[in-house]
Amino acid sequence: MQPFSKVALITGGARRIGAAIATYLHARGYAVAVHAHHASQAQAELVAALEAKRPGSTLAVQADLRERDAPAALMARCLERFQRLDALVNNASSFYPTPLAEATPEQWDDLFALNARAPFFLAQAAAPHLRAQHGAIVNITDLYARQPLAQHPLYCASKSALDMLTRTLALELAPQVRVNAIAPGAILWPEQGKSEPAQRALLARTPLARLGTPEEVASTVHWLLDGAEYVTGHTVQLDGGRGLT
């Protein structure tokens, strides 16, 4: 197997923002472990495209990160394949409404398991390997980690937990490992759709007056991994200025 200068594990890496991150890092010399909940055509096509550019530089892995043993098992697969880890990108996430009157303990457990618990235990499993390489972690949080979204209290709380974990892990893993986060605003419309009036209203509250792009998230991930050498415990608000309004 050919050696790699750096190796990154990207959770939720098969589609949308995660696929953009995997593609961007791969283009800059990383070997990438692309995680998905289940094997899918999207994951297979992405890995095949990256392999065509640089054979032996990818790994497709599947795991339900809500399962307690999944973080350690996922890390073991990555290390078995590449023998090192330089970057962990906690991108996998779950998003759905949980109005106060209807929210259930099962929804609490589901959202916190994927959005907060899994990133923590992935960081725990990755820590000795990241320390060895003086690597970095990037967590994908959300503008709504600090700015509440109506009808989504559990999602907001779970992302707020990840925001705080970013800062506490930065202390725990310093000085060898840096830990930062990105809080995206409107990057892609939700897969379940968003009405045109709602789209216009959101963009009207965004000073830069447009959606961000997955590639802009990916380039910020790359900067936090490889360029921001004196930055740790920080959350970059990648929201076109919407947090100002």
The CA distance from 6 to 135, in Å, is 9
Q: What single-letter amino acid sits at 153?
A: P
The CA distance from 131 to 122, in Å, is 14
Residues in the chain, overall count: 245
CA 241 to chain centroid: 21
The CA distance from 119 to 130, in Å, is 14
- 174 SS3 class: coil
The CA distance from 217 to 79, in Å, is 26
Provide CB contacts within 8 A for 215, sequence distance 6+.
20, 24
The CA distance from 44 to 115, in Å, is 24
Q: What single-letter amino acid sits at 146?
A: R
Choose the catalytic residue: 24, 30, 144, 155.
155
155 noted as active-site residue: yes
Count of other CB atoms within 10 angstroms of residue 226 = 16
Residue 206 main-chain phi, psi, to 5 deg: -110, 110
Ramachandran assignment for 83, one of left (phi > 0), alpha (psi -120 to 50 degrees), beta (any other): left
Which residues are part of the catalytic machinery?
155
